[in-house]
Each structure stands twice: as C-alpha cells, then as structure tokens.
Amino acid sequence: MSALVRQIQRLGLDQVRFAWCDLHGQTRAKALSVGAAVQALRKGVGMVGTLALKDSSDRTAFAVFDPEFAARQPGLAGAANLLLKPIESTFKVLPWAPRTGWIQCEASLSDGTPLELDTRRQLRRALQTLAAQRLGMACGLEVEFHVYRLAHPDAQDALDPHAAQWPGPAPAVHMLHAGYHLLSEASLDQCDAMLAIVRRTAQALDLPLSSLEIEIGPSQFEAVFDVSDALTAADHMVLFRSAVRQALRRAGYHATFMCRPPFPSIMSSGWHLHQSLLDLSTGRNAFVPAPSLAAAAGQGDARQLLSDLGAHYLAGLLEHAPGMTALCTSTVNGFGRFSAHAMAPQSVVWGRDNRGAMLRVIGGPGESATRIENRLGEPAANPYLYLAAQIYAGLDGIARGALPAPATESPYAQAAERVQRIPGQLGQALAALAQDPVLCAGLGAQFVEHYRVIKQLEQDRFDAASDKLEFSRREYFGRI
C-alpha cells in the first residue's frame, strides 16, 4: 500500500471514500480525511455490520440483539462492526467530487475472519473454482437504464420533512426524450449534454465504455462495455452505476437502474451479460468450435456454434435457470420485464442470434468472439452474484457432459407443456434457488438462506402494499 499512500498524498486529496458493495449491489461508503485514510489503507476501516443484513428498504432483516441470532451469526451479533479491507487496484479519483478519492473494499468480521456474506468474495471464490479447471471467464456488458431531468434540481420538494417515510420519497422528474425511436440520431443529439457527462465520467474512471445509445423507451439509454475478465467487469458495473447516478445528480438529472420506472408508458431495462470461457493455458476462447465438428452437428444442435465445452456450459445455464433467476433479476420490479415480443425472455430456451431467447448464442467456427449472451438479468442485479451464478451453473453442465435441447426459432411460442417458463415473480425464483443443490453448494447453503430471507421480505412488502406504484417509487426509483 505504500505506493498508493504516496499517490494519495501527491494528489493533494481532501478525502477518500471507502466503498463496499452490499447484498443488493448498492455501494455503502465512509469518507475519511487523508490522514485517517492512510491508516485505513494499512489497517482497514470499521463499518456497522447491519449493512450486511439490510433488506431493500434499508431495514435490518434480523434481530441482531437476540441471543438466537448471536448463535447463528456470532460475528454480526449486537450490530458489531465489519472490517473493510481496501483493494488497492480499485483506487480512483472521482471526477465529479473535488479532491476526492475512492477505493473499493471487501468485508471481514472484526477479528479478520472473511465475511461469507461479502458478494465480491463470492465471485472470487467462483472464479477460483473455474481456475482449478484451467478456465477463466471473459464478460462484456450491455446495460440499459433511464435518465430524467429533475423537476426541482435542488430537490426541496423531495426533502420536505412532512413527506419523510421509510423509504423516503422519490424526486419529481421530466423525460429527456419521448421514446419509441430506437437509435434515433435526433434523440441522441437532444440528449448529448447528459450523455457527455456519462461519457466523460466513465473515461475519467478508466471504464471501458464502448458506446452510449438511445434505447426504444422514453428517456431510456444503453451503455455497452468492451470485454474484460469477470471480476473486473463486475467491479466496473458497481462503479458505473454509482458514478452515473452521482455525477448526473450534481448536474440536475436523475438516473435509475431499476428495471421498470413507475410511469405509465415505459420500456423495461435489461442487463445483457455476454460471456465466454478462456483456456488459461493458451488464452484462447474455449467456446469456439472446430469447423469439422461444427459441420457434423445436426440442425439446431448447439455444437454448430459452440465447442463441446461451450455446449455443456450452455446446458448448465439452461438447467439452473429457475434458481439463477433470483440472482440475475433480484427485485420484484424486474419480473415485469418477462413479457412476450419485448426482446426479453419468457421461457428457458436458447437461440442462434435470437434476442427473444433467454440465452442468445453468437459466433461459431473461426469466430474468436463466440459467446453466450444471457438476457435474463436486470440492471439492478448484484454483479458478483449474477456472474457467480453463471459459473456454478455452467460448470455443472460441463461436469455432467450435458447437452441442451435444439435451438428455438420461436421463443414466445405458447408451449407450456414442453418449455419451462422463467419464474413469474421474485418469490418463485427464490424458492427455485433454495431448491437448486448446485447453486446452494457453490454459494453456500447459509448464504443462500440469508439471501432468500432478505429478498423474500421485499416480495412480502410489495404484496402487502396497497399502492404498488408508490412502493416502486420509494423502494426503487429514488434509490437504485
């Protein structure tokens, strides 16, 4: 850390934020003065342990002062501190916050024991399992999101103490473009000032942003990122979401990564995850099939487009899709996206360059960028859990030599007796996750139960809400 300490001192910073990604994929942070930050780089920084126990409304989901809880989670009993351990390679200088550094952390218990509920550690462990088979993972991100202009940039209406509830009220906003004009150059130019802030912010943070695009829905956009290794891609997703919201907020905009903003005429946002496995001994894409074997495969056979290993991995993703859904689409709001003819999946199927299928296979013999695009995710998902789920599901398919059913040509066909449907709500997906032995073994049964309890509270509160739109405004629109 000595080189980083010297860098911070040389930059003349006033403060450094020590950030941690919670179960829901949101960043929590402490801002330390430079002197305190230098000490924290060496020793870590304390943060209240209830942040590992929060539901999506920020309520602590467990009775931390109860002796029964202390027996199950002794390191978190009594609202004891976590110890945040900074990751030197993640240090950034925030372009929107003057003289402010930022560094991401992983969490341990106060005695230094690794926190099993730390989701970044979960992905690192999954990648270690993958590496044991001399395989690595490469990912590219396509992230849809919505941006609005704040009706009252000083947000005084949203900060009225008489309106305070738990969660707090969402801001009033105006649209930036009218929508239903995909990739419109006129809309692109209309939104150029806002997009320039996003672009400059991403570039200043060394995020591999490839393009910013006008999506089809009103005030909807898409960011596309170049391929990187899986852990870096997940780190980029965490930082991008947080950075975009903060930088745009200072400029009078409100960005949200919730799937379906609470307005009458919107289009759902997805997070499409492009993934391939790499042979660590050669660095080559392990999904690229040999031309002779691809030519011998039958019509609709995945091995026309993927190596045997890739086809087995694809089969694993399909077989574990119900349980995986709770980690890829992790809010109640996100399940409204799974509707027919909306370029979002409805059924557990794969297709050849088919955007209606859950898994879209792109490439084939001789194409080094051959990959699987998982279209199951929403942009609010925790990136570490989303990617870890892919690894455990895919590795199970590889271990068993499983092969998928033929590719679909009609992903929205009504064939319920033959095609498995994606779970229709978060509670169903959580039940499927709890019943998936492979995902439970990979993530750990205790972690899965912890996740299930916390996310089920979200489903229960939504079911009990008399005003579902107001629930979505407060729970999601104002917060993610």
Q: What's this model's pTM, rounded to 2 decimal places? A: 0.96
Averages of pLDDT over runs of 10 residues in the chain (480 residues) are 87 97 98 96 95 96 91 89 96 97 97 95 98 98 97 69 84 95 96 98 98 98 98 98 97 97 95 98 97 87 97 98 98 94 92 96 96 98 98 98 95 72 97 98 97 98 96 95
What pLDDT is stored for residue 104 in this prediction? Answer: 98
Do 91 and 102 meet the contact criterion of CB atoms below 8 Å apart? yes
Q: Delineate the domains of the chain, giving CATH numbers in brackets.
A: 2-116 (3.10.20.70), 118-480 (3.30.590.10)
What pLDDT is stored for residue 157 in this prediction? Answer: 54
What pLDDT is stored for residue 121 in this prediction? Answer: 98
Do 24 and 330 meet the contact criterion of CB atoms below 8 Å apart? yes
What pLDDT is stored for residue 418 in this prediction? Answer: 74
